[in-house]
Amino acid sequence: MIEFRNACGSDDLMGLWQRCFPDRTAWGELFLRDMYVPEHTFVAVREGRLAGAVYGTPSAFEFRREAVPVTYLLGLGVDPEFREQGIAAVLVRKLCESTAAAGVPFVLVTPCSERMLKYYQRLGFTVSTWLAKDPFTREQLTATEEQPQPLPPDAAFKANGVYEEVLRHRDHLHRSAAAWRFAALTAEAAGGGMLALRRDGEFCGYAVYERRPEGVLVREVFAEDEPAYDALRRGVLDAAGVDAAVMESPACHHNMHPYGMLRAADAAGVLALASGYRPMDLTLEIEDGLLPENSARYTVSGGTVTKSARSGQVYLTPEQLVQTIMGVGPAPYANLLFA
């Protein structure tokens, strides 16, 4: 018999983490120390032993210039001894149900591998954001006298202004001061860190980088202009003592790979969100294998969404709903909502 419940103080979450992710112990220690909240965590317990866990962090997603609440799913893991029993799917369902009960329409995840991306697709998630990985060398960068300086984790939130300014025309995840600090600590644990560039005392750009077995990976470089952008990349190479690195970027339109995924935790909430920025008058049906409570017939009139029993008509899946509402992925269903 497997019990699913919220985490509590006596749970050996670090022990579970080490069994699930033996190569990510340092990250787990940081997360459990700085970001873990029991009421946002669901665990599976079998015969008194932790069999699995999933963590949810409340956040917000910038969508159509408005902040939409979202739960950020992290650290889904099942003890190798208890895998292939459907435990992970139940943990995700519990997190989605809790998210919907809190009035939050979406769950967001950034899968750590192609295998996990395909797993989340089977659970109704759809790819919502992409990143490119581009190599660069010292010789490609414009020479500059500007020198970025290390940015300590406790000061990492100072990068938020540049982050929001650069992404102001893109849908993106908002970051709290705690999230910024955690990002900097994670980079340091991976042998890298954060760099900041200032001009006349004003913050004008930052970079986050890590050391990987395959080389230096620059996770982010955001700056107000091209010279600052090159100065920060050169600063990473100097700090890491290398002449080449790979940079992740949401701005490139080639070599893109899936990054973030969204799922509708509350289909009615997603439709209400859509009707708030574009008036709709429609009826549709949704079939949701993971969250049966979303399987229903929905009528949207103006800003009002009503829910009733399904009639067995043609339906949208949760992936198709998010693709249509958020404008991500293939959109052959848009005529159902906006015709």
DSSP labels, 41-98: EEEEEETTEEEEEEEEEEEEEEETTEEEEEEEEEEEEE-GGG-SSSHHHHHHHHHHHH
Q: What is the mean pLDDT of residues 139-154?
A: 94
Whether pLDDT at 253 is above 70: no
Domains, the chain, ranges and CATH? 2-104 (3.40.630.30), 131-256 (3.40.630.30), 266-338 (3.30.1050.10)
Predicted TM-score (pTM) of the model is 0.91
Q: How confident is the model at residue 302 (pLDDT cuts 50, 70, 90)?
A: confident
The per-residue pLDDT of the chain, averaged, comes to 91
Can you tell me the distance from the alpha carbon of 112 to that of 239, in angstroms, rounded to the nearest whole number?
26
| C-alpha closest to that of 226 among 130, 143, 286, 128 | 143
Residue 332 pLDDT: 40
Using a pLDDT cut of 90, give the percent of the chain over it.
76
Residue 328 pLDDT: 67
Q: Strand 106-109 vs strand 261-264: parallel, antiparallel, or unpaired? A: antiparallel
Which H, E and C letters describe 197-252, residue by residue? EEECCEEEEEEEEEEECCEEEEEEEEECCHHHHHHHHHHHHHHHCCCEEEEEECCC
Q: How confident is the model at residue 169 (pLDDT cuts 50, 70, 90)?
A: confident
Q: How confident is the model at residue 337 (pLDDT cuts 50, 70, 90)?
A: very low
Long-range contacts, 33-40 (Cβ 8 Å, 24+): 34/178, 34/181, 34/182, 34/185, 35/74, 35/178, 35/182, 38/6, 38/7, 38/8, 38/9, 39/6, 40/71
Q: How confident is the model at residue 143 (pLDDT cuts 50, 70, 90)?
A: confident
Residue 339 pLDDT: 29
Residue 329 pLDDT: 56
Could you report the per-residue pLDDT of 63-122, keeping only the tens digit for each?
Answer: 777 889 999 999 999 999 999 999 999 999 999 999 999 999 999 999 989 999 999 999
Using a pLDDT cut of 70, give the percent of the chain over it.
95
Whether pLDDT at 258 is above 90: no
Q: Which of 151-160, 166-175, 309-318 has the lowest mean pLDDT?
A: 166-175
Whether pLDDT at 336 is above 60: no
Residue 251 pLDDT: 67
Q: Which residues pair with 149 in a beta bridge?
A: 196
Q: How confident is the model at residue 252 (pLDDT cuts 50, 70, 90)?
A: low
Residue 333 pLDDT: 40
Q: What is the mean pLDDT of residues 305-322?
A: 91
Tokens 């993106």 found at: 172
Higher pLDDT, 50 or 253: 50
* Cβ pair 34, 16 in contact under 8 A: no
Could you report the per-residue pLDDT of 265-288, keeping only the tens digit for each?
Answer: 999 999 998 888 778 888 999 999
Could you report the per-residue pLDDT of 5-15, keeping only the tens digit for each?
Answer: 999 988 999 99
